[in-house]
Amino acid sequence: MLSKDIKALILDVDGTLISGKDPVISSEVKNWIDNSKKYFYIYLFSNNPSKKRIKLIANQLDLKFTYSGGKPSKRKLKKILDKIPYSSNKIAIIGDRVFTDILVGNRLKMYTILVDSVDHYGNKIEKNNFQSIERYLAKIITGDFS
């Protein structure tokens, strides 16, 4: 990522940093975020309508956040980009869903990173059929068949 001159990361929350039902961030994720802050501006961007949940998680990581993000709509992501002091080609969006996280990033010509969904313990969830379809579509969208 550093070689691509990425300066900021916009992170999905549910399924990316934490299982969708879990209220507590694991120490592994907390350490990863704390270390990443040395290199990147980081912002949380969730479609979850619960301000209470996303604020609770953002507070554990001491990060700014947007809830009810409406991904793949570009509207709220554009507002976030306006607040970040780097151009959009230096900002990566990271998430576990093609049709929300990756699609909105592509629409704004950002660098996108699709990750496996995580469970309660931060381990990757074995892929279900729907995620297999999503990953295939991601390859088509990004042109990355490696």
Pull the structure tokens for residue 143. 């042109």
Answer yes or no whether residue 96 interacts with Mg ion by CB under 5 A: yes
Name the minimum Å distance from CB 67 to Mg ion. 13
Could you say which of 12, 61, 71, 98 contacts Mg ion (CB under 5 A)? 12
Report how far Cα 113 is from the mean position of its chain's Cα atoms.
8
Question: With respect to Mg ion, which residue has the nearer C-beta, 16 or 88?
Answer: 16
Of the candidate spans 13-21, 27-35, 48-56, 132-140, the one that interacts with Mg ion by CB under 5 A turns out to be 13-21
Nearer to Mg ion, 8 or 44 (CB): 44
Say how far apart CA 36 and CA 133 lie, in whole Å: 30
- Strand 64-66 relative to strand 41-45, pairing: parallel
Residue 9 in tokens: 């990361």
Strand partners, 111: 92
Chain residues in the site for Mg ion (CB under 5 A): 12, 14-15, 96
